[in-house]
Structure 1
Amino acid sequence: MGRYYEEFEVGQTFVTKTRTISDADISSFAELSGDHNKLHVDENYAKTTPFKTRIAHGPLGFAIATGLSYSTGLFDGTTLALLGVEWSFTAAIFPGDTLHVEMKVKSKREASRPDRGLVVRDFNLVNQDGVVVQKGVITVMVKRKSFNE
């Protein structure tokens, strides 16, 4: 079971496990999303770009970040809703990059209903070289323990 609202403290930092991005991940995301931009799916074209190779779709990085966050178990069974996202793409994600997420509880506040609260987290999606490739703020609504025991 994940953590309840009361169990999060402002300033807490969590680091996820890693995930390596494969060519298959990029191709699968192109199929799923319908985004077949040559920068992502055509290696010959991608060689002519400043990146010199295919790169992952930006939204794929975001999806990986949310999945890595979920894999911590912190929000398993206690999350009620995703309320907001502010997200920036700061560097390319390449096939073979190994990513992890560093999240920090930025703030929290009680919701209008007493059985839930809002947790705001800063996210950094970081590659194997320590480069932040994407970052943002994600707000979720979580259960309050005193109303859900």
Structure 2
Amino acid sequence: MSLYFEDVEVGARFTTASHVITEADIADFCRLTRDHHPLHTDEAYAKRAGFDGIIAHGLYGLALMEGLKTELKLYEDSSIASLGWNHVRFVHPMGAGDEMHVEMEFTAKRESRTRPAGVITETVWLLFPDRSPAISAEHVSLIQKRD
């Protein structure tokens, strides 16, 4: 399924598959971003800071949100660009072994002012299995109109 601007219905909701965060995920994100802060690499340090163990980067969670959404293939043939993330809140830490999924809702849409396309806004949550949030955010995208 690929949604074009005309297909987007404000209020429509989608839920992704889940992903279990691993220590390797956290280590890979450290390596890719060069962010080796001890909260993400040193269990004793993280425990002294009040966590159960090392925690995932908040930005890893944000990237995971986009990856899980991409697996839905909502914009497989229609995506032009991400215009940005707004109101990002890291609500609860995530660690190795945590199972996460995304729920998203279309909250707005409008015609692009600069090209024959549409701007869509989604509210997006990265959730634990009990639906409590780890991250909440708003994502704005530019997508194609149908020919």
TM-score by length of 1: 0.94
- Following the alignment from structure 1 to structure 2, what is the Cα–Cα distance between the partners of residues 52 and 114? 49
- Following the alignment from structure 1 to structure 2, what is the Cα–Cα distance between the partners of residues 103 and 7? 16
The structural deviation recorded for 1:115 is 2.6
The structural deviation recorded for 1:52 is 2.8
Identity of aligned residues (%): 34
- Following the alignment from structure 2 to structure 1, what is the Cα–Cα distance between the partners of residues 124 and 141? 13
Q: Which runs of 5+ in 1 are unaligned?
A: none
- Following the alignment from structure 2 to structure 1, what is the Cα–Cα distance between the partners of residues 51 and 24? 19
Deviations 1:98-146 (A, max 9, x none): 111100000000112453101100001101232100011000000001x
The structural deviation recorded for 1:45 is 1.6
Aligned to 2:38: 38
The letter for the 1-side match of 2:89 is: S
Deviates more, 1:17-26 or 1:47-56: 47-56
- Following the alignment from structure 2 to structure 1, what is the Cα–Cα distance between the partners of residues 44 and 74? 42
Aligned to 2:106: 105
Aligned to 1:139: 140
The answer to whether structure 1 residue 58 and structure 2 residue 58 are counterparts is: yes
Deviations 1:51-109 (A, max 9, x none): 13110000000000000011001011211011121111100011111111100000000
- What are the residue-to-residue correspondences of 1:88-103 with 2, within 5 Å? 88-103=89-104
- Following the alignment from structure 1 to structure 2, what is the Cα–Cα distance between the partners of residues 43 and 61? 19
Q: Which runs of 5+ in 2 are unaligned?
A: none
